[in-house]
């Protein structure tokens, strides 16, 4: 009896070791996409009246958790019944990531004018502001749904072939950490300027300097995250292409891994961007007729 109990403990210990190791690998693989996730959500959560930023962010966080509750069971069913389909979905996700990265580079090279307004600048009634806020929250949750699919599939792709119990624990852990980590950091980012304003009211000269610095840093932090996120998108996509497309792996394997992954992601992104732009132009011409 005692022997059976200790054998069970040994099995549990082995499973937990496996889970810990795979969680580390999965977290590392999804880390690249979190930079873009941070930039996107920081941008989505800003632009509101200061007093509404945290409530709005909390509403988006709850929506993100609900997204994960929808995506995770579907992903596990997919992995259990048709595991080969995970690779297909992973490659499709990589194409989307590469396209998104290429589109951001295009928008940087060919700038598009953007009007930066906050809900505070708009002459709206409280009811209209509430409707606008709900629309922005809904749009942010839809964006989060797409990013959540990418995170879950990439995490799941790193544990394919492992027991389903290990997959469930590892991917659920990564999804939860991603949600708490991303939105926790976003909350700190969007409140930077408010903390800076608070420091400006203090008598300390150092406090006032730090306050001015924080206020000035906020737009730079968001832009910096957007840049890092774009590079991360291309690298993550390129890494998937390199590992899942054998001819491409053989073609670029002699290059340093980071350069090979960047080239693979960039080329894939440019091709996807050309296809999407071409299809969009054709569709517009058809609609005009």
Q: Is 161 left (phi over 0), alpha (psi -120 to 50) or beta?
A: left
Residue 268 pLDDT level (bands cut at 50, 70, 90): very high
pLDDT over 60 (residue 26): no
In angstroms, the CA 72 to CA 149 distance is: 9
Domain count, the chain: 1
Length of the chain in terms of residues written: 289
- Within a domain: 271: yes
Of 119 and 199, more confident: 199
In tens, the pLDDT along 133-191 reads 788 788 778 777 877 887 888 788 777 777 778 788 888 888 888 788 777 777 777 77
In angstroms, the CA 200 to CA 226 distance is: 28
- Within a domain: 217: yes
Contacts of 287 (CB under 8 A, 6+ apart): none
- Within a domain: 12: no
In angstroms, the CA 28 to CA 197 distance is: 36
Query: CB–CB of 170/76 below 8 Å?
Result: no
Nearest partner of 149 among 231, 86, 193, judged by Cα = 86
**What is the b/e burial string over 102-129, where b = at least 16 CB atoms within 10 angstroms of the residue's CB?**
bbbbeeeeeeeeeeeeebeeeeeeeeeb
Nearest partner of 71 among 97, 93, 95, judged by Cα = 93
The model carries a pTM of: 0.70
Query: CB–CB of 251/261 below 8 Å?
Result: no
- Within a domain: 204: yes
Q: Is 44 left (phi over 0), alpha (psi -120 to 50) or beta?
A: alpha
- Burial label for 83, CB within 10 Å (0-12, 13-18, 19+), is middle
- Within a domain: 175: yes
Query: CB–CB of 28/159 below 8 Å?
Result: no
In tens, the pLDDT along 9-23 reads 333 344 444 444 544
Of 195 and 119, more confident: 195
- Within a domain: 167: yes
In angstroms, the CA 71 to CA 65 distance is: 10
In tens, the pLDDT along 198-240 reads 777 777 777 777 777 877 777 787 777 777 778 877 888 888 8
- Within a domain: 13: no
- Within a domain: 11: no
Which ranges of 82-125 does DSSP label H, i.e. alpha helix?
Answer: 84-109
Query: CB–CB of 151/175 below 8 Å?
Result: yes
Contacts of 187 (CB under 8 A, 6+ apart): 45, 54, 57
**DSSP code for 48:** S
Range of the domain at 72: 18-288
**DSSP code for 46:** -
């Amino acid at each position: 009896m005692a022997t059976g109990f200790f054998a069970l403990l040994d099995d549990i210990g082995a499973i937990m070791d496996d889970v810990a190791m795979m969680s580390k690998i999965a977290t590392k693989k999804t880390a690249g996409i979190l930079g873009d996730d941070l930039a996107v959500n920081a941008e989505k959560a800003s632009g509101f009246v200061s007093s509404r930023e945290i409530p709005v962010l909390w509403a988006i966080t709850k929506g993100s958790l609900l997204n994960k509750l929808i995506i995770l069971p579907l992903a596990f069913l997919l992995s259990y019944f048709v595991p080969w389909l995970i690779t297909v979905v992973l490659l499709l996700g990589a194409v989307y990531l590469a396209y998104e990265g290429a589109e951001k580079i295009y928008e940087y090279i060919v700038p598009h004018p953007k009007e930066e307004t906050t809900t505070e600048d708009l002459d709206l009634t409280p009811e209209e502001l509430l409707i606008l806020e709900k629309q922005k929250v809904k749009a942010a949750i839809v964006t989060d749904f797409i990013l959540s699919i990418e995170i879950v599939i990439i995490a799941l792709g790193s544990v394919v072939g492992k027991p389903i119990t290990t997959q469930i624990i590892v991917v659920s852990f990564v999804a939860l950490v991603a949600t708490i980590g991303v939105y926790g950091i976003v909350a700190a980012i969007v409140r930077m300027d408010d903390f800076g304003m608070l420091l400006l009211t203090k008598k300390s000269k150092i406090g006032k300097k730090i306050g001015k610095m924080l206020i000035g840093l906020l737009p730079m932090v968001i832009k910096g995250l957007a840049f890092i996120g774009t590079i991360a998108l291309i690298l993550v996509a390129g890494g998937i292409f390199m590992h899942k497309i054998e001819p491409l792996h053989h073609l670029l394997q002699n290059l340093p891994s980071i350069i090979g992954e960047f080239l693979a992601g960039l080329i894939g992104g440019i091709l996807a961007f050309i296809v999407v732009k071409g299809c969009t132009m054709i569709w517009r011409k058809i609609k005009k007729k």
